[in-house]
Amino acid sequence: MATVELKNLRKTYLTEEIIKGISLSIEEHEFVVFVGPSGCGKSTLLRMIAGLEDITSGDLLIDGQRVNDVEPGKRGLAMVFQSYALYPHMNVYKNMEFGLKLSGMPEAERRAKIENVARTLQLEPYLNHKPGQLSGGQRQRVAIGRAIVRNPKVFLFDEPLSNLDAALRGQMRVELSALHRKLGATTIYVTHDQVEAMTMADKIVVLQKGVVEQIGSPLELYHHPRNLFVARFIGSPPMNFFSAIFQGGDAAGSSVQLRDGSTLYVPVTSPGLLPGTKVTVGIRPEHVELASSGPNSGVVEVIERLGAITLVHVRMPDGEIIVVQTDGAVLTDVNSPISLTLPPRNCHLFAPDGLAFEACHRHPLAA
Amino acid sequence: MALKAKTSTRIGVTILGWGIALWLFFPIFWMILTSFKSEVQAISTPPKLFFMPTLSSYAEVFERANYWHFALNTVTVSVAATAIAIALAVPAAYSMAFMPSKRTRGTLLWMLSTRMLPPVGVLVPIYILARNTHLLDTCTGLAIVDMLTNLPIIVWMLYTFFREVPAPILEAGRMDGATRWQEMTMVLLPLALPGIASTALLSLILCWNEAFWSLNLTSSHAAPLTAFIASFSSPEGLFFGKLSAASTLAVAPILVFGWISQKQLVRGLTFGAVK
Ligand SMILES: Nc1ncnc2c1ncn2[C@@H]1O[C@H](COP(=O)(O)OP(=O)(O)OP(=O)(O)O)[C@@H](O)[C@H]1O
Ligand SMILES: [Mg+2]
């Protein structure tokens, strides 16, 4: 098992810089997830680690060794591709055997290993099948099996579940988590699925346009997003934002004036900020509470009933929409007036440059 | 009603297909037919479709020229030129398909543009080059020229076939520890085999029928079947019976070979569709 360290990695295609200086260290056994919007460079970064893309500058260390110029096959990694990328002309057994054979492992040892992995992944009945004869889920298992048999130091996954249907994706997610616990291998996993990121990761790396926006545990990102981008990106449905005027702060909190004139005292510090500055308030839909009357009143515009929960879209007097996630059985109807309560402890404040104000108290689950 | 219309369309398409096939095949058909006529029957007007077949033209052709000598030269030159061209083109197409640079497209077009040059335009320089390197009238010399003239098309075709192979499959090979060479030979080649086979077949046919360079660069020792045919055309005026017999003998092997390998060829040409 291994550590991976990225030191100011950069990648330039022709003239365009795609990866703009990424530093990151990944511990042994850690499950790290790269998330970010499409085109932000997740796959490129993963492929740089794999050795499939050249590193323009910076250092890549695996187990403390600089591997920038080491061939992909010699880095001790295994990769699972989004498209599975099985060898179509080889059967399942041969697919898994290919890498072992190249490494010169004796036949008997290869067979024992493959049979063992095939048993774990329930692939035994299919060892003689060609990839074309398998379902999507089975192909995915073969791709994972091909990675496992090589006993790599680090597993790399590039959106491995995105070609599967929702039910199978959920099942594979659980299986992958279990597998990771069992093998304990260092894993780097690219996805744009929130649920995969939140449930599987020890550490999430949020990328945007080739730079790291934040690195942290799932709940750290959820409770303490470092900036507006992470706040908007993590969480579904996304956080609500509205503007406010900063009035002043002390060690226990900062007060802001909302558009309707009411003030909110949020437990975050605001060192050096001048009163009168325009700031952004953020609150997640699941933290807004509904009230029949009071301040912050608006009109229900859309109701999405998902069974267990209901999403209420409220149009505020200033025209902004605030989404509230509430009980599945809530009786509110479209066009009815409604009031919102914004619990200050769940509010986030963002300075004009997008950075979040430091919370006075860390969330216990995100210490 | 709809079904009826469909049936009639199908019949129409079938007839059209057969019509085109027959139209394309007619010259070969007529050549074979003429080869079994006597010289008198061959030039009779109106042309005869039914006649008493005779092998006299074949007999005379075999008597006058050593068919096997020419055939052996053709086989040697075609196979050698094709094998070398494929061997050179596979790595070239591999690198262009999977490691393209900003000049790849331009290089491909430039390679193809050399085919647009009329061969006669470079006849003198090539002739002099061949003479100075003592390659005139040798199978080696002809094979080199054939190989070079076909190389652009072969690279282009292989490039197109290789592009059909998804890059992640090769990358998976690289992750599994394959060297570039192993990646090419153990992953790419098996996947692109139908395409390579049909490219090789096309190259064989082109070399087999190549006349311009064979007539200009060979005289006797390395003369291939195209020279064999030519020897029955000009000098003594036109004897269509013998000319047809010689031509039939010349094209028969490649025709039979093409027929046998047509399954491969069709698979190669529709590679993208059945992948
Ligand atoms: N070979 C290439 N040449 C030039 N630009 C490239 C190349 N490969 C990727 N890019 C660019 O690099 C950027 C990052 O691409 P990348 O595939 O890493 O994004 P991603 O985060 O994986 O996106 P997605 O979620 O859609 O998979 C994109 O803007 C893309 O256009
Ligand atoms: Mg990607």
Report the alpha-carbon distance of residue B91 to residue A56 in Å, rounded: 26
The more confident residue out of A79 and B49 is A79
Query: Does residue A295 sit at the B interface (CB-CB below 8 Å)?
Result: no
Amino acid B158: pLDDT? 94
One domain for residues A220 and A258: no
**Range of lowest pLDDT (A15-19, A195-199, A334-338, B268-272):** B268-272
B174, B186, B190 member nearest A73 (Cβ): B174
Mean pLDDT of A161-168: 88
Ramachandran sector of residue A29 (left: φ over 0; alpha: ψ -120 to 50; beta: rest): left
Looking up tokens 């047509």 gives B262
Q: Which residues surround ligand 2, an ion (CB under 5 A)?
A: A 43
The reply to whether residue B172 touches residue A88, judged by beta carbons under 8 angstroms, is no
* Nearest alpha carbon, ligand 1 atom 5: A13
What lines the ligand 1 site, CB under 6 Å? A 13, 18, 36, 38-44, 192
Query: Are A137 and A159 part of one and the same domain?
Result: yes
State the average pLDDT over residues A31-43: 95
Taking only the tens place, the pLDDT of each residue in B117-165 is 888 888 999 999 999 999 989 999 999 999 999 999 999 999 999 999 9
pLDDT, residue A180, reads 93
Last residue of a domain, one of A184, A199, A231: A231
Report phi then psi at A171, rounded to 5.
-65, -45
Q: Both A193 and A245 in a single domain?
A: no
Long-range contacts of A224-232 (CB under 8 A, 24+ apart): A224/A356, A224/A359, A224/A362, A224/A363, A224/A366, A225/A348, A225/A356, A226/A355, A226/A356, A227/A350, A227/A354, A227/A355, A227/A356, A228/A280, A228/A282, A228/A350, A228/A354, A228/A356, A229/A354, A230/A206, A231/A282, A231/A348, A231/A350, A231/A356
The CATH number assigned to the domain holding A319 equals: 2.40.50.140
Query: d(Cα B173, Cα A98) in Å, to the nearest integer?
Result: 8
Domain count, chain A: 2
Q: Residues in chain A, how many?
A: 367
Top residue of A44, A48, A62, A87 to mutate, by most chain B CBs within 10 Å, is A87
Cβ of A103 under 8 Å from any chain B Cβ? yes
B211-231 in b/e form (b: 16+ CB < 10 A) is eebbbbbbeeebbbbbbbbbb
Distances (CA, A) of A62 to A6, A35, A186, B143: 9, 22, 11, 52
Facing residue for B168 by CB, picked from A85, A98, A102: A85
CATH 3.30.565.10 fits B66-231, yes or no: no
**Calpha distance A226→A354 (Å, rounded):** 9
Q: Which of A3-12, B41-50, B68-77 has the lowest mean pLDDT?
A: B41-50
Query: CA-CA distance, B16 to B30, in Å (whole number)?
Result: 21
Question: Cβ of B187 and A78 within 8 Å?
Answer: no
Q: What pLDDT does residue B5 have?
A: 63
Contact B191 A78 (CB under 8 A): no
Helix and strand counts by DSSP (H, E) for chain A: 8, 20
Instruction: For chain B, give every domain's residue range.
Output: 66-231
A298 and A262 in a common domain: yes
Question: What pLDDT, on the 0 to 100 scale, is given for residue B274?
Answer: 35
CA angle (A71 as vertex; A69, A77 as ends), nearest 5: 110
d(C-alpha A133, C-alpha A142), whole Å = 12
Whether A174 and A313 share a structural domain: no
- B36 within 8 A of B57, measured Cβ to Cβ: yes
Within chain A, where are the H helices? Answer: 42-50, 92-102, 107-120, 136-149, 166-183, 194-200, 218-223, 228-233
pLDDT of A213 strictly over 60: yes
User: From the list B169, B171, B186, which residue is nearest A52 (CB)?
Assistant: B171
Does pLDDT of A19 surpass 90?
Answer: yes
Q: Does A81 touch chain B (CB under 8 A)?
A: yes
> Which H or E element spans position A69?
none
Ligand 2 centroid to Cα of residue A92, in Å, is: 26
Q: In the prediction, which pLDDT does B267 show?
A: 61
Neighbours of A209 (CB within 10 A): 15
Of A35-49, A269-283, B221-235, the least confident: B221-235
Q: How far is CA B173 from the centre of its chain?
A: 34
Mean pLDDT of chain A: 92
CA distance B99 to A249: 58
Q: What percent of chain B has pLDDT over 70?
A: 92
- Mutation choice for B interface testing from A102, A110, A146 by most B CBs within 10 A: A102
- A89 neighbourhood in chain B, CB within 8 Å: 190-191
Whether residue A87 and residue B187 make contact (CB cut-off 8 A), yes or no, is yes
Chain B residues with CB-CB distance to A52 below 8 A: 171, 174-175
d(CA B247, CA B138) in angstroms, rounded, equals 22
Mutate to test the interface with B, among A52, A86, A144, A146 (most CBs of B within 10 A): A52
Say whether pLDDT at B7 is over 90: no
Burial of A89 (0-12, 13-18, 19+ CB in 10 A): middle
Measured CA distances, B125 to A37, A365, B53, B77, B115 (Å): 60, 82, 47, 21, 16
pLDDT of residue B219: 86
Looking at A196, A231, A266, the residue that finishes a domain is A231
Average pLDDT (A59-66) is 95
Q: What is the ipTM of this complex?
A: 0.87
Per-residue pLDDT of A223-269, as tens digits, reads 999 999 999 999 989 999 999 999 988 888 999 998 888 899 999 99
Read off the pLDDT of each residue in A14-22 and give the average, rounded to a whole number.
93
CA distances from A212 to A60, A79, A127, B77, B81 (A): 16, 22, 42, 61, 55
Distance separating alpha carbons of residues A353 and A228, to the nearest angstrom: 9
Last residue of a domain, one of A187, A211, A231: A231
Q: Hey, which of A13, A20, A52 would you mutate to test ligand 1's pocket, going by the most ligand atoms within 8 Å of its Cβ? A: A13
Contact check, Cβ <8 Å, B169/A86: yes
CA distances from A188 to A27, A61, A164, B31 (A): 11, 14, 20, 68
The residues of B whose Cβ lies within 8 A of any Cβ of A are 102, 166, 168-169, 171-179, 182, 186-187, 190-191
What is the rounded CA–CA span in Å between residue A145 and residue B206?
46
State the average pLDDT for chain B: 87
Q: Do B177 and A74 touch (CB under 8 A)?
A: yes
pLDDT in tens, A90-146: 999 999 999 999 999 999 999 999 999 999 888 999 999 999 899 988 999 999 999
pLDDT at B20: 94
Residue B192 has pLDDT above 60, yes or no: yes
Per-residue pLDDT averaged across A21-29, rounded?
Answer: 95
Closest ligand relative to A19 C-alpha = 1
* Residue A311 scores a pLDDT above 80: yes
User: Which CATH number characterizes residue A190's domain?
Assistant: 3.40.50.300
What average pLDDT does range A302-328 have in this prediction?
Answer: 92
Which chain B residue has its CA at the smallest distance from A86's CA? B169
Ligand 1 atom index nearest CA of A37: 25
* Between residues B197 and B268, the one the model is more confident about: B197
Is B213 or B269 the better-scoring residue by pLDDT?
B213
pLDDT score recorded for residue B269: 55
Indicate if the pLDDT at residue B23 is higher than 60. Answer: yes
Write out pLDDT tens, residues B64-82. 888 899 999 999 999 999 9
Distance of CA A255 to the CA centre of its chain: 32
Cross-chain residue pair B177–A102, CB shorter than 8 Å:
yes
Measured CA to CA, the distance from residue A3 to residue A27 in angstroms comes to: 5
Same domain assignment for residues A167 and A267: no
Find the helix or strand (DSSP H, E) in which B219 lies.
Answer: none
CA dihedral B226, B232, B235, B237 (to 10 degrees): -130
CA–CA distance from B5 to each of B11, B12, B13, B16 (Å)?
Answer: 10, 10, 12, 16
Question: Residue range A156-175: average pLDDT?
Answer: 90
A135 touches chain B (CB under 8 A): no
- Same domain for A227 and A251: no
**CB of B198 within 8 A of CB of B264?**
yes
Quote the Cα angle for A99-A102-A107, to 5°. Answer: 90
Name the residue in chain B with its Cα closest to that of A82: B168
| A132 and A57 inside one domain | yes
- Cα–Cα dist B58/A293, whole Å: 109
Q: What pLDDT, on a 0 to 100 scale, did the predictor assign at position B3?
A: 56
Measured CA to CA, the distance from residue A319 to residue B267 in angstroms comes to 62
Distance A210 CA to ligand 1 centre (A): 10
The fraction of chain A above a pLDDT of 70, given in percent, is: 100
Ligand 1 atom at shortest distance from the alpha carbon of A159:
27
Residue A275: pLDDT above 50? Answer: yes
Report whether pLDDT(B271) > 50.
no
CA of residue A97 to ligand 2 center, whole Å? 27
Least confident of A20-34, B131-145, B260-274: B260-274
Whether residues A9 and A36 share a domain: the answer is yes
Task: Judge whether residue A197 has pLDDT over 90.
Answer: yes
Domain that holds residue A243: 239-366
A151 and B CB contact within 8 Å: no
Buried b (16+ CB within 10 A) or exposed e, A148-169: bbbebbbbbbbbbbeebeeeeb
The model's pLDDT over B220-263, given as tens digits with 9 standing for 90+, comes to 888 888 888 888 876 556 788 888 888 998 888 888 888 888 77
Contact at CB, A79 and B166, closer than 8 angstroms: no
Regarding whether A215 and A316 lie in a shared domain, the answer is: no
